[in-house]
Structure 1
């Protein structure tokens, strides 16, 4: 997840998508059947990017047009922020003004798939020339909704442990290792906390957003739990309670955890030397570099040797306009954009991990890990992303309910068991229907 925040209104939008679009309208026909590669086509591409990355996207669209003069690609961010894209897409589905390609957070996949507006790319990506297997398994799973591939990974990432070496050195605490348990993490967080200097051992978002929720999932999985049992909420199992209690102990008992009400404060506080450790992703490396922070990266703390993490892949979702040439051209463009050669000009150029394993030996990746020393660890940590968040309609509703439960527990307002049970009850209708 390039930007871990979600708008509070996202839940309402998700419900609108899945409830008002009437479910899938797939008639079984390939949207690109009969595609003429020489046809004159204009595509609309909502990139969901900030200003600098948008300029890179525009240059790549121009490069593709030079190679395919019959295909013009109109690029724009699509909305004021990436968070706003889901609302914009929902309105576009109603009014018939949605794009051919849009950036989308992976946790929107279930609702977008249920809209009936996406292409079914299952057979397309299965062609050996696409090299689908080069992309991480978790990313491929997130691109799949209701058994159909609706998009192609646009970004891959994962959560790992980042630590400020100076704070560890000052406290005389040994640096984290890839073998750390959550008990090791908790003990270090307590030692690094210093109320006299307002220094905390670690931090956690309690905004109730997806940034709050998805940080819990690795602990849930490491303890043997699951998010859903079929379509029934299962995160309130004994494993879920144990996972949340692990966090509660640091926040409530030890007071070694800074609780961020906004999602936006804990990274700057880490970079300024006020927080010793955070669980975050490769997007943090740019600001760490700018802060000239001496930072290390290790695997997620684990349970019984299980160091599973969570990946937050984002997607290029392709939409159907009942025009075989637009469908075919959009597929060809995304295949080109996500190829190993061009991805080096896109993701690696803007500071993200590469999409494909074949890029690990490229000069561009060597330059990336030199510029961002933690990049190699995050790339290797993709192997620990063994499960994916569910791509079911209603996941956003579930996420918000779980996020609110986590926030309540970490702020000492309720027990883990009561909060998760309440979240499961509130989420049942959203994901089971």
Structure 2
């Protein structure tokens, strides 16, 4: 579920969306209704015909999975031709829509564009289509419902999801005398310190868990479920400085890193191979436990089939054990582009890709990502691997959360992550409250600049 693998594209999306927010707003129209007043037929067509374009970011094997489902749609509708544009990242998509190119249905790899695309009108409002065709939005995972609409406007539908949990090497834990994976952050830290080994020169040989902010999937958003930390208030203002969950996570992470040694961690992290190569730290046993997404299950089958490992929800803070079982959820999203030449046919295709049980299950099995409609979870055709089952449960857990849509895209996440990566190397914590207040101010100022009048 990635141009290059998922997490790397997500990092790229954060940078692209944050940096291009103003461009998107000006190019796609300011304050457009996004199709809210479009004229649609009183009933869905009983026969579909014509040509519709589909833009998506998938490539290679994954593009073939998408094509297989598109072929099914065409087979069911023999008078329809879907012109597929694969390998189109979000920046290409953004420019194509702004230029009025032939874009009908578009799939993005980032939920972070939703706030911007809903508000600017780059993606049309789907409300009238959904109401007319009686599409049950209640079938969607609650988190997926949240990240596919903004300010009461549903301009997108979820196209599978990614969920995050903890991977652990059973052999390494057993060797260290650890009987079960950790459920709290304190246990994670304690176990990790036991599992960490050193070379004769004092450098790290094997790391129990790498707490370095910025290492692989170690990002603020992916940790938030451990304390239920919130990003924005109801007015879209940053609360990272006032939500106690963030402060708790920051203090835990910084203290953990300091116990191992900042310089040692920096050196160890710098020597890590590419996250998505066969030399991935967890896959070769260089780290014993790791925060990662469900896609790693497929990588393990392909690249490290002999490793005996387990998957569980990511630990929570000791004072938030009631949240255990949840995790961070994100995913791909699809919408009908502003200026679509055949919006009725575009809606039929989008609805098929996101609300048809057989299509969603086929996509989930082929792309090895989490479905987003409840009927797919119940389908006997959904392939259920014991390791993958963990992520299916996380996706359905009431305590799972996501990052809220914003007109400024991922700008607020990027600002906080940049600050945190610098803060982890700063001695002392006495000025933490003041620093977080500055982060709030920075996020709010940027959001104000990029808001639509």
CA distance in 2, matches of 1:210, 1:107: 17
CA distance in 2, matches of 1:130, 1:176: 41
CA distance in 2, matches of 1:96, 1:4: 30
Q: CA deviation at 1:411?
A: 3.5
CA distance in 1, matches of 2:358, 2:178: 43
Which one of 358, 371, 378 corresponds to residue 375 of structure 2? 358
Q: CA deviation at 1:334?
A: 1.9
Q: CA deviation at 1:286?
A: 0.8
So what's the TM-score if we normalise by structure 2? 0.83
Residue 380 of structure 1 corresponds to 393
Contact 1:41/1:70, CA 8 A, preserved across alignment: yes
Q: How does 1:62-211 map to 2 (within 5 A)?
A: 62-79=71-88, 85-97=89-101, 99-104=103-108, 105-126=110-131, 129-176=134-181, 180-196=183-199, 198-204=205-211, 206-207=213-214
CA distance in 2, matches of 1:118, 1:264: 38
Contact 1:44/1:74, CA 8 A, preserved across alignment: yes
Q: CA deviation at 1:301?
A: 1.0
Question: CA offsets, 1:48-67, max 9 Å, x none?
Answer: 11210111212222221222
Residue 246 of structure 2 corresponds to 240
Contact 1:208/1:404, CA 8 A, preserved across alignment: no
The alignment of Structure 1 onto Structure 2 pairs a total of residues equal to: 417
User: Runs in 1 of length 4+ with deviation above 6 angstroms?
Assistant: 208-211, 261-264
Question: CA offsets, 1:287-327, max 9 Å, x none?
Answer: 1222022111112212332224221122112213264xx11
Contact 1:144/1:150, CA 8 A, preserved across alignment: yes
Aligned pair in 2 of structure 1 residues 346, 152: CA closer, same or farther (>3 Å)? same
Contact 2:295/2:369, CA 8 A, preserved across alignment: yes
CA distance in 1, matches of 2:222, 2:350: 30
Question: CA offsets, 1:351-373, max 9 Å, x none?
Answer: 112232223343322xx22xx32
What RMSD, in angstroms, separates the aligned Cα atoms of the two structures? Answer: 2.8
Aligned pair in 2 of structure 1 residues 128, 187: CA closer, same or farther (>3 Å)? farther
Aligned pair in 2 of structure 1 residues 33, 426: CA closer, same or farther (>3 Å)? farther
Which one of 401, 404, 418 corresponds to residue 415 of structure 2? 401
Residue 82 of structure 1 corresponds to none
Contact 1:32/1:328, CA 8 A, preserved across alignment: yes
Aligned pair in 2 of structure 1 residues 321, 251: CA closer, same or farther (>3 Å)? same
CA distance in 2, matches of 1:413, 1:314: 39
- Structure 2: segments with no counterpart, 5+ residues: none
Question: CA offsets, 1:239-292, max 9 Å, x none?
Answer: 322211111122223349956569974561011101111111111111122202
Say yes or no: does 1:327 pair with 2:327: no
CA distance in 2, matches of 1:129, 1:111: 26
Aligned pair in 2 of structure 1 residues 329, 161: CA closer, same or farther (>3 Å)? same
CA distance in 2, matches of 1:275, 1:327: 49
Aligned pair in 2 of structure 1 residues 204, 258: CA closer, same or farther (>3 Å)? same
Aligned pair in 2 of structure 1 residues 90, 108: CA closer, same or farther (>3 Å)? same
Question: CA offsets, 1:219-249, max 9 Å, x none?
Answer: 352xxx4211222110122332221111112
Stretch deviating more after TM superposition (32-41 or 8-17): 32-41
Question: CA offsets, 1:161-217, max 9 Å, x none?
Answer: 11111211221222215xx11111111111111122611111256449996232232
So what's the TM-score if we normalise by structure 1? 0.87
Contact 1:11/1:396, CA 8 A, preserved across alignment: yes
Contact 2:160/2:364, CA 8 A, preserved across alignment: yes
Residue 316 of structure 2 corresponds to 302
Aligned pair in 2 of structure 1 residues 77, 389: CA closer, same or farther (>3 Å)? same
CA distance in 2, matches of 1:262, 1:68: 52
Aligned pair in 2 of structure 1 residues 94, 359: CA closer, same or farther (>3 Å)? closer
Question: CA offsets, 1:81-133, max 9 Å, x none?
Answer: xxxx2211232233211521122111221122233221111243356753322
Aligned pair in 2 of structure 1 residues 20, 254: CA closer, same or farther (>3 Å)? same
Say yes or no: does 1:231 pair with 2:236: yes
Aligned pair in 2 of structure 1 residues 152, 162: CA closer, same or farther (>3 Å)? same
Stretch deviating more after TM superposition (34-43 or 294-303): 34-43
Residue 348 of structure 1 corresponds to 365
CA distance in 2, matches of 1:145, 1:33: 25
Q: How does 1:282-301 map to 2 (within 5 A)?
A: 282-290=294-302, 291-292=304-305, 293-301=307-315
Q: Helix, strand or coil for the counterpart of 1:44? A: strand
CA distance in 1, matches of 2:128, 2:271: 42
Residue 276 of structure 1 corresponds to 288
CA distance in 2, matches of 1:227, 1:262: 32
Aligned pair in 2 of structure 1 residues 424, 24: CA closer, same or farther (>3 Å)? same
Stretch deviating more after TM superposition (270-279 or 411-420): 411-420
Which one of 52, 61, 66 corresponds to residue 43 of structure 1? 52
Contact 1:208/1:406, CA 8 A, preserved across alignment: no
Q: Helix, strand or coil for the counterpart of 2:210? A: strand
Q: CA deviation at 1:418?
A: 5.1
